[in-house]
Chain A
Amino acid sequence: NAGVMQNPRHLVRRRGQEARLRCSPMKGHSHVYWYRQLPEEGLKFMVYLQKENIIDESGMPKERFSAEFPKEGPSILRIQQVVRGDSAAYFCASSRFTGELFFGEGSRLTVL
């Protein structure tokens, strides 16, 4: 039973480019959460999605960031026009409706 799969594991972008991070939840999980971890800090909630719906985006920056979880395929976190401050590890976690979150290995974004 594969765990939460994130890719790419490492991504380097220049300022102004776009970053797309993908997350495939565990089998049977239809709830996805994205978290951001800045260097030397804890994880901060960004967004919670169910299939085709954004349930809670209270942690998402108002501009340049978007997330989706289509009916088919992985959840995608998209960052447009990246800036150096976007450099961080982005973790995805999935769950059934209730129960523990299972975290992926993370995607580490470096903005040059």
Chain B
Amino acid sequence: ELKVEQNPLFLSMQEGKNYTIYCNYSTTSDRLYWYRQDPGKSLESLFVLLSNGAVKQEGRLMASLDTKARLSTLHITAAVHDLSATYFCAVVGNFGNEKLTFGTGTRLTIIP
């Protein structure tokens, strides 16, 4: 059974600081996604990572993938308040379809 773990579950950061969210998964995977969810809203796709060593950046967020370690990271640089949200990683297993297994989520709060 594919398991996906994130840590930390909760993260409070001051504006301007850097931090990293970690996502570990238990079996080989084709793809890994990072999503953002604001309270009461749907999921916003941030990144899709397809191969070992993949790195993608958008604004203050950068995601990377190490398929050998089964680890992805989401790095936040110089955090600003509007990055406050819950962030999920999700992994596509080798099921022959697009079924996603989600991590538990990291609730990020940026403190002014």
Contacts and interface: CB of A to CB of B under 8 A. Distances in A.
Contacts of B100: 33, 35, 43, 45, 93, 101
Contacts, number: 49
Contact of A56 (B99, B103, B104, B105): B99
Could you say which interface size class chain B belongs to?
Answer: 10 to 19
B88 A55 contact: no
The main secondary structure of chain A at its interface with chain B is: strand
A51 to B, nearest CB: 14
B69 interface: no
Interface residues of A, number: 23
Nearest to A89: B40
Interface in B77-105: 88, 90, 95, 97-105
A104 interface: yes
Interface stretch (B11-19, B42-50, B53-61): B42-50
B42 A91 contact: yes
Contacts of A99: 98
Pick the 4 closest A-B CB pairs, nearest first. A42-B102, A43-B102, A105-B42, A103-B43
6 contacts: A33-B100, A42-B102, A48-B99, A56-B95, A56-B99, A93-B100
